[in-house]
């Protein structure tokens, strides 16, 4: 699956400590970004201020909603 226009395809990242695992709503790994391909594979934090579209466990986030890259 490839991102088009100004969208970033993000897969939710699991966070946890010990045996408790939680899926963070606004943290994920970039699978595809046509405008900034250097983001691919990076962990990002994105805004959920507006509704994010989802399909098959993937989130389609407008590029302008990406707030930070976790190094």
* pLDDT computed for residue 71 by the predictor: 81
* pLDDT computed for residue 20 by the predictor: 55
* pLDDT computed for residue 34 by the predictor: 95
What residue segments make up the domains of the chain, in order of their start?
Answer: 7-70
pLDDT digits (tens, 9 = 90+) for 35-47: 999 999 999 999 9
**Rg for the chain (alpha carbons), in Å?**
12
CA–CA distance from 37 to each of 5, 12, 45, 55, 58 (Å)?
Answer: 12, 18, 16, 21, 17
> What is d(CA 33, CA 9) in angstroms, rounded to the nearest whole number?
7
pTM: 0.84
Q: Please list, in sequence order, all residues whose beta carbon lies within 8 angstroms of the beta carbon of residue 37, skipping any fewer than 6 positions away.
A: none
| pLDDT beneath 70: ranges in the chain | 14-24
* pLDDT computed for residue 13 by the predictor: 75
């Amino acid at each position: 699956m490839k991102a088009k226009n100004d969208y970033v395809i993000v897969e939710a990242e699991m966070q946890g400590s010990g045996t408790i695992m939680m899926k963070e709503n606004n943290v994920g790994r970039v699978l595809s970004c046509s405008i900034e391909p250097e983001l691919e594979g990076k962990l990002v934090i994105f805004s959920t201020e507006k509704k994010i579209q989802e399909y098959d466990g993937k989130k389609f986030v407008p590029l302008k909603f990406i707030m930070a890259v976790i190094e």
